Amino acid sequence: MRADRRGRRGTARRPLGRLARRLLGATLAAVAGVAVLAPAPAANADSPLRVHAEEQGFEIGAALAVNHLNNDSQYRAIAAREFNAATPENEMKWDTTEPSRGNFQFGPADQFMDFAQANDMTVRGHTLVWHSQLPPWVEDGNWTQSELRTVMYDHIDAVAGRYRGEIAYWDVANEIFLEDGSWRPSVFYNTLGSGFVADALRRTAQADPNAELWLNDYNIEGINAKSNAYYELAQDLLAQGVPLDGIGIQGHLINGQLPSGIQQNIQRFADLGLKVAITELDVRIQMPADQSELAQQARDYTTVMNACLAVDGCVAVTVWGVSDQYSWVPDVFQGYGAPLLYNSNYQAKPAYDAVHTALGGDDGGGPTDPPPGSCAVTYNVANQWNSGFTGTVSFTHNGTSPLSGWELEFDFPNGQRVTSGWSGQWAQSGSTVTVSNAAWNGTVAAGGTVSLGFNGSHTGTNNEPTSFSLNGQECTVS
């Protein structure tokens, strides 16, 4: 069993909120003596996701919308049964909570909190400072630095202060960089400069001292210019003593097109002493979705889950919704859909089985990931000299349906390093090497073989790797 991941400041908390306090008060008033909470049931193979997650000190969450909780009983039941963490989709965003200056509206957020607390869910507050979903009075104000800083502080004080002690994590600043790693223009950056992030983190720490403070963004799953910008910012903030606890990697992904190096990227943030979470996971499919695409989606979910679970500092995976019925994807990405664990009829998809299996449960018998041994790998040292060598790797896909996108992973046993590679995108973090498909060889037919090669360095001992995995599944080695 993996070590419990919850809490550099302590365990991930589900504090007593308004509803829980009312229920506890009523119970204590009615019952004499000592009330003892029964322990959570032990997981068996077909237990809900949250039971398996709890056994590992892990959080499996969902973004939830109060409107659907109030009006859709199936949505509500699945949310309560399957997830031990929750993020409000829109209920805590600025345009909802403060539509006009000083006019705070907490009705939807309060309802969200009541549901989460009644169902023993850890809450991620989302989000305090963001360039989007701002009311016009904020975005279009002709602010001085002093005025806008006051506006930002007043908002943080009111929202974070209202739920003080009830939120485990706050997404304090959201989506602050562009794809090239430069600062995103916004009313906050344009007026206050890059220091608005540190200001917001410090102010949130005052408003809700026990909450963990996070930054959050999309397209930072792999190692790229944007994730590098977050890595450098995190280093700078920590060096300045600014309170920062975690990096949220959103994970809005395309089926069969996962970026390489997800685990390595998570690991480098964890190595800074930060927590990491996949905060908004969905894997969109070009519609209509057929069974092979759903199977590929399941493999992609497995890859992301395994990347997080492999790093002790990765504490949670949250999917961005409960079912395909209410997903944001079709409205934003034309021609795409079906990104979540349940379809529009609330039937569990192969992606659900993949997540269930990754957490230690049974796969439900669905067409999810290929079993161990459905890929075969051959590794050879083709040439070796002094401190260098050339290696070749080939894998055969023995599954029954084609692969659409692949990632091969292995560990060097003696400190070897890849210096260059071909026929794939190569990355290395520590001893772990990851190679993902190039643009031209991402589709592999059932029974198909892919051959790769690289140049490497060694320090005198050059033993071969002994285990390989393809899309998160163990391969046989010959």
Q: Which residues contact 241 (CB under 8 A, 6 or more apart)?
A: none
Radius of gyration of the chain (CA): 23
> What are the tokens at 375?
């890929």
Residue 280 designated active-site: yes
Beta partners for residue 214, in sequence order: 171, 246
CA distance 258 to 406: 8
Instruction: Scan for tokens 């930072």, then name that residue.
Output: 220
Beta partners for residue 439, in sequence order: none
Cα–chain center distance at 313: 12
Cα–chain center distance at 150: 32
DSSP three-state, residue 466: coil
> Regarding beta strands 246-249 and 275-286, do their DSSP bridges make them parallel or antiparallel, or are they unpaired?
parallel
CA distance 151 to 143: 9
CA distance 405 to 401: 12
Residue 170 zone, left/alpha/beta (φ > 0; ψ -120 to 50; rest): beta
CA distance 414 to 85: 40
Choosing from 98, 280, 293, 407, which is the catalytic residue? 280
Cα–chain center distance at 148: 31
CA distance 147 to 149: 5
Cα–chain center distance at 215: 12
At residue 183, φ and ψ (nearest 5 deg) are -70, 135
Within 13 Å and on the Cβ side, how many CA atoms surround 9?
Answer: 14
Answer yes or no: are the C-beta atoms of 158 and 114 closer than 8 Å: no
CA distance 92 to 437: 39
Taking the CA atoms of residue 226, residue 231, residue 232 and residue 236 in that order, the dihedral angle to the nearest 10 degrees is 140
Q: How far is CA 260 from CA 215, 279, 302, 438, 465, in A?
A: 22, 18, 14, 10, 20
Answer yes or no: are the C-beta atoms of 395 and 475 closer than 8 Å: yes
CA distance 112 to 119: 11
CA distance 338 to 321: 11
Q: Amino acid identity of 347?
A: Q
Q: Which residues are catalytic?
A: 280
